[in-house]
Amino acid sequence: MTDDEDRTQEIRRDGPPPSVPRAASGDTAQYARRPTGNTPPFGMPAGAPQPQAGYQRPVPGYAPAPPSGIPASGRPMLPVDRGSSGFPAAILGAVVAALLAVASSYANYQAVLHNVSRNPGTLKGYLLGLLGTLPWPAGSSGKYLTALLAGVVIILVVSLVLIMAATMSTRAGNGGFAVFLAGWLAVVIGGGIAGVAAVEIWSTGPTMPGAAGTFANSGLVWGAWVGWIPGLVVLAAHAMRRKPVSS
């Protein structure tokens, strides 16, 4: 027997060297179940905080609302003061426009009654002719009264809607010139519509071709002539609006 065979038999008989301990089967299983630093329990990602007792995960996309009276920034909520409403200025301008329509109709009736020259070739006659956009109910026919009332209502409603759109969209203390132009333009548009409606009502027979266009033009020019008055009224009322209080 050679020396190598004798050394091999001695190793098998005596076992492994004492420097290499033999692991038991139970230790091997316990080592396999022990988590490492990179493998957290329950399949959670590494480094994730452990949920505490009674903790519920928030639903994705849900943010709890702040307490009542406290916005998300943490400051207490204050009511926004945008100043007084622009409705009083709008209704005041619309009423003045309607009163001007009635006054113009009466002035035209008085000019016809006293045979005042209405020659359109002169400035005075041309301006007097514009006063006749709405008829004055002097005759026995009720159509004149209906035409006058319809025209006044149209001017009132159109002016109110357009002026209110301008004043409600303009902050108090700003946009005075825009409000003035809005009041003037509202009377121009209302006068044109009222002129067409009036001629369709008071005409006894079929209206002449082009009559609607003529009275529409007359109403537009009438509005351009007198519309600056309601415009100034709206401007003055808008200037007296209570201005917003800055916080």
Q: What is the pLDDT of residue 81?
A: 41
Q: What is the pLDDT of residue 106?
A: 92
Q: How far is CA 228 from the centre of its chain?
A: 28
Q: What is the pLDDT of residue 78?
A: 44
The fraction of the chain above a pLDDT of 70, given in percent, is 59
Mean per-residue pLDDT over the chain, rounded: 75
The string over 43-52, giving b where at least 16 C-beta atoms fall within 10 Å of a residue's C-beta and e elsewhere, is eeeeeeeeee
Q: Could you give the dihedral angle defined by the CA atoms of residues 170, 172, 178 and 183, in that order, rounded to the nearest 10 degrees? A: 90
Using an 8 Å Cβ cutoff, are 117 and 124 in contact? yes
Q: What is the pLDDT of residue 79?
A: 45
How deeply is 243 buried, as exposed, middle or buried, from its count of CB atoms within 10 A (0-12, 13-18, 19+)?
middle
Q: What is the pLDDT of residue 37?
A: 52
Q: What is the pLDDT of residue 95?
A: 96
How deeply is 96 buried, as exposed, middle or buried, from its count of CB atoms within 10 A (0-12, 13-18, 19+)?
buried
Quote the CA–CA distance of 216 and 97 in Å, as a whole number.
Answer: 17
- Say which amino acid occupies 215: F
Q: What is the pLDDT of residue 51?
A: 55
To the question of pTM greater than 0.85 for the whole model, the response is no
pLDDT tens digits for range 64-108: 555 555 555 555 444 444 445 778 889 999 999 999 999 999 998
Using an 8 Å Cβ cutoff, are 158 and 68 in contact? no
pLDDT tens digits for range 34-60: 555 555 555 555 555 565 555 566 556
Q: What is the pLDDT of residue 186?
A: 95
Quote the CA–CA distance of 221 and 107 in Å, as a whole number.
Answer: 16
Q: What is the pLDDT of residue 73?
A: 55
Arithmetic mean of pLDDT, 1-29: 56
Quote the CA–CA distance of 181 and 183 in Å, as a whole number.
Answer: 5
**193 or 138: which carries more pLDDT confidence?**
193
Arithmetic mean of pLDDT, 175-182: 89
Return left, alpha or beta for 142; rule: phi > 0 is left, psi -120 to 50 is alpha, else beta: alpha
- DSSP character string of 27-79: HHHHHHHS--TT--GGGPPTTPPPPPTT--PPPTT--PPPPTT--TTSSPP--
Arithmetic mean of pLDDT, 206-217: 74
Q: What is the pLDDT of residue 216?
A: 87
